[in-house]
Amino acid sequence: MTRRSRISVCILALAIPLFFAFGLLAGGVEVGFADVIDALCGKADTKVSFIVVETRLPALATALFGSAALAVAGLLMQTCFNNPLAGPSIMGISTGASLGVAVVLLALGGLLGFWGRMALVAGAFMGAATVLAILLFFSGFVRSADILLIIGILTGYLSSSAISLLNYFATENSVHSFVMWGMGTFGGVGLDSLPLFASLTVLFMLLCIPYCKSLNAMLLGARYAESSGVPIKRTRSALLAISGALTATVTAWCGPIGFLGLVVPHIARLMCGTANHRVLLPATALAGAVLGLICQIASVAPSLATGAILPVNAITPLIGVPIIIYVLLNRHRLVYFS
């Protein structure tokens, strides 16, 4: 690891607790630092404890784990397809998860309470798994990464078409519920669901570690990777499966969060100045966690004045679009895939 990489990773690691602590203070109700400490220690009154422990703490933890998961999923896809614009939403996996939720909310009318939340999670997993199965099927005999990328894009279009049809025939209340879910939020995971959500995201991210050497070999092309002993088809299928699982997990609980999976790997590369996945993988996860915390804080910042909380998908493009434009304009000067 170079000195630049070490400094970048240290900065990201230190930024996480700082933004997390600031996020516990940010919101529509003013809560002091001492009140936050008391709430975390179980000494605060019921109102403050509910705000800090039941509301802000789960939302920030969800933003941390969910954004890190999406960032890692985006990194895997960009390397697999050797394309800086690949990501979970581009490959249709996010749209497939949205289709599963649309079936639950629009076709079945949705459910209330705990079982309603579990139905949404199950629908998102089923939708993402369907798209992932299609990609894995074609990856078995399609050698070209570009063709597989196009297949993913087309599958996403088909999922979007199905969602449009469900919207057309659904009731007004169902459409409203689906639109609100589609805006994306990190506040939908409660303390009861947080351990499961965090465990799944961490588990799937840990599964990427053994593939660092294969990912580095894939940067130099499929032929070089095969000559180095990397089974391209099997490795690509495994990485797609991990990416799909990460995306489905986050989309199931948070909705289709855009841009994070596309943008964060570029931020990590720019900060570390390397394409070595032994460094890039943890840096991407840390950068995703930091950016997720920033988005969560930005989404609740207006609530102090207006009482309204912004959807996450209204904030991520403001951060993501300038970075993508910079990458595209300076693509020939940025050594990403070498």
How many Å apart are CA 279 and CA 146, to the nearest integer? 26
The pair of three-digit structure tokens given for residue 265, joined into one six-digit string:
């790997």
- Identify the H or E element spanning 128: helix 113-139
pLDDT classification of 15: cutoffs 50, 70, 90:
very high
pLDDT in tens, 205-238: 999 999 999 998 888 777 777 887 888 888 888 8
pLDDT in tens, 16-48: 999 999 999 887 777 888 888 888 888 777 788
Instruction: Report which of 87, 101, 128 is spatially closest to residue 259, judged by C-alpha positions.
Output: 87
Average pLDDT over residues 305-311: 71
Whether 264 and 288 have beta carbons less than 8 Å apart is answered as yes
Mean per-residue pLDDT over the chain, rounded: 84
208 alpha-carbon distance from chain centroid: 15
pLDDT reported for residue 336:
52
Q: Where does the chain show beta strands of DSSP type E?
A: none
Average pLDDT over residues 226-255: 85
pLDDT reported for residue 305:
57
The pair of three-digit structure tokens given for residue 174, joined into one six-digit string:
């169902």
Q: How far apart are the first and last CA of the chain?
A: 16
> Which residue's structure tokens are 């609740």?
300
pLDDT reported for residue 40:
85
Give the burial string for 115-127 (b: 16+ CB within 10 Å, else e): eebebbbebbbbb
pLDDT in tens, 72-119: 999 998 888 777 777 787 777 888 888 888 888 877 665 556 666 677
pLDDT reported for residue 132:
78
The pair of three-digit structure tokens given for residue 278, joined into one six-digit string:
């032994």
Helix axes 277-300 and 3-25, enclosed angle (nearest 10)? 20
pLDDT reported for residue 329:
81
φ and ψ of 146, to 5 deg: -65, -40
Instruction: Give me the long-range contacts of 78-82 (CB less than 8 A, separation at least 24).
Output: 78/265, 79/215, 79/218, 79/219, 79/239, 79/277, 79/337, 80/145, 80/218, 80/236, 80/239, 80/240, 80/243, 81/145, 81/146, 81/148, 81/149, 82/145, 82/218, 82/219, 82/221, 82/337
Average pLDDT over residues 140-149: 74
